[in-house]
Structure 1
Amino acid sequence: MIKMGGSPSRPLMTSLKHCTLWKADRSPACRAVLMALDAMNMDIHEVDINMDREEHKSPGIVSMNPLQTLPILKDRDLILSDSHAITTYLASRCCTETSKFLLPPDPGSRALVDQFLHFNSCVLYPQYKAASNPILRGTLRHVDKKTNDEIQCAYADMEQMLAKRPWFSSGNWPSLGDISLAATVSTLNILVPIDVCNFPKLSCWLHRMAEEKFYCTANKKGLSEFSRTIGELS
């Protein structure tokens, strides 16, 4: 049995019936959901969407999510189109021993996880889009100075957050907060590399995350695809 960051052994694969996930591996938001699924040992029906061909603008996608963003999760009549909402929903829906480590049931620990999910959605992810979109759209060949400086400030904030803890959680293992942050930070690291000398704790945290099995199975492939695309355009 595989252990995750010091948490108990994971159960056998759980298949989520009636659930479908539309995703693009290049997207860090999609990879956050994929990592959460693998961390909880969940199996779900996945549909790959090619954003370069604008498949995310198809009538079927728009009818589920007018914002035309990925990922999208459909569970019977429920449709969710935010990665943070999707991961917390899946953890609550499954409610296994492992999911309780990723999303603790006690209010204090749960609030800490929510806090880092909000930091990712409100601070890091907008910076990722500001850095990547101009390059992916062909309007810039590199990250502009203003965005670079803002990302460096975010790295500094995260360095301080890790001053007294190994993970962005209250336990001795990664939480859903760590997973969402890792998906975004690993992608930002391609655009604006993390200086190990300036941010040693952040660098060590990302290295530890990269050693987790779910990171290897669910983040590396899409991250390599993103890196390759950026390399071709910059």
Structure 2
Amino acid sequence: MGGTSSRPLTTSLKHCTLWKADRSPACRAVLMALDAMNIDMNPLQTLPILKDRDLIISDSHAITTYLASRYCTEMSKFLLPLDPGNRALVDQFLHFNSSVLYPQYKAASNPILRGTLRIVDEKTNGEIQCAYADMERMLAKRAWFSSGNWPSLADISLAATVSTLNVLVPIDVSNFPKLSCWLHRMAEEKFFCTANKKGLSEFTRRIECGNCFNPNESKYPRNSEDRRNDISTTEPTTT
């Protein structure tokens, strides 16, 4: 799959506008999907809302599947299978992300960002550990959260949320080796580097600093092509 994300930009959505916030895992999931599909559009800054002419979509999962179905015919077979059975698997994991993982992310992060807690409370921590265990079982007979040998839109959405949860409740490699390996493989995908790492770093700083906001903080380049060209700024430097 890594090779597909390095293809030249093929689609520019002149009629679409995306509103986003870099620190949000839902927004980063959409940005990763855009970069994985080599789709360029005009992003603004708030929450993940897509406007395509008169159509307005406000859920990140619906946004990514809509863009794949409508604009990304070449990549759809990789990211969003056309076969009903394989598509159902992707939908199943997207629903798991929206109904289980994302509510846990909000329950864990909101009290810290609001300054009412400094660490994740015991109940939420336990629920997140149970979700990690569920994902470990889901990966028992597969490398990705899909039926193929490459990441799907489900992997992208899950990676945005899980990489953020990992900041709040670190994944124990000894307890969840398959989940840990999956997240490591996702982190090596180019679209993860171009569209997830910088926002994830911003979220981490806010968690560690009590949501201190720096208006001069660097933001993602506005379109997919610039993010891919700006990949050097998302990679760690070595000395």
- Alignment TM class, shorter chain as reference: 0.7 to 0.9
Aligned pair 1:164/2:161, yes or no? no
Aligned pair 1:25/2:11, yes or no? no
Kept in 2: contact 1:112–1:169 (CA 8 A): yes
Name the SS for the 1:111 alignment partner.
helix
* Deviation sequence 1:34-63 (CA, Å, 0-9, x none): 0000000000001023xxxxxxxxxxxxxx
Equivalent in the alignment of 2:73: 96
For 2:106 and 2:191, locate their aligned partners in 1 and report how far apart those are by CA, in whole Å: 24
TM-score (norm 2): 0.85
Kept in 1: contact 2:107–2:124 (CA 8 A): yes
Equivalent in the alignment of 2:83: 106
The one-letter code matched in structure 1 to 2:149 is: N
For 1:79 and 1:42, locate their aligned partners in 2 and report how far apart those are by CA, in whole Å: 18
Assess, with a 3 A threshold, how the Cα gap between structure 1 residues 21 and 175 changes in structure 2: closer, same or farther.
same
Kept in 2: contact 1:8–1:98 (CA 8 A): no
The one-letter code matched in structure 2 to 1:144 is: D
Name the SS for the 1:151 alignment partner.
helix
Equivalent in the alignment of 2:236: none
Equivalent in the alignment of 1:47: 44
Aligned ranges for residues 1-234 of structure 1 at < 5 Å?
4-5=1-2, 10-49=7-46, 70-233=47-210
Kept in 2: contact 1:5–1:172 (CA 8 A): no
Assess, with a 3 A threshold, how the Cα gap between structure 1 residues 89 and 192 changes in structure 2: closer, same or farther.
same
* Deviation sequence 1:197-226 (CA, Å, 0-9, x none): 000000000000000000000000000000
Name the SS for the 1:233 alignment partner.
coil
Name the SS for the 1:194 alignment partner.
coil
The one-letter code matched in structure 2 to 1:81 is: S
What is the Cα deviation at residue 11 of structure 1? 4.9
The one-letter code matched in structure 1 to 2:102 is: Y
Question: RMSD in angstroms over aligned alpha carbons?
Answer: 1.4
Structure 1, unmatched stretches of 5+, are: 50-69
The one-letter code matched in structure 1 to 2:22 is: D
Name the SS for the 2:209 alignment partner.
helix
For 1:136 and 1:6, locate their aligned partners in 2 and report how far apart those are by CA, in whole Å: 37
For 2:6 and 2:69, locate their aligned partners in 1 and report how far apart those are by CA, in whole Å: 19
The one-letter code matched in structure 2 to 1:233 is: G
Q: Which runs of 4+ in 1 moved over 2 A?
A: 4-13
Assess, with a 3 A threshold, how the Cα gap between structure 1 residues 7 and 18 changes in structure 2: closer, same or farther.
closer
Structure 2, unmatched stretches of 5+, are: 212-239
What is the Cα deviation at residue 9 of structure 1? 7.0
Number of aligned residues: 211
For 1:104 and 1:110, locate their aligned partners in 2 and report how far apart those are by CA, in whole Å: 5
For 2:9 and 2:25, locate their aligned partners in 1 and report how far apart those are by CA, in whole Å: 26
For 2:96 and 2:2, locate their aligned partners in 1 and report how far apart those are by CA, in whole Å: 22
The one-letter code matched in structure 1 to 2:158 is: L
What is the Cα deviation at residue 94 of structure 1? 1.1
Q: Taking every aligned residue pair, what percent have the same amino acid on both sides?
A: 85
Kept in 1: contact 2:25–2:160 (CA 8 A): yes
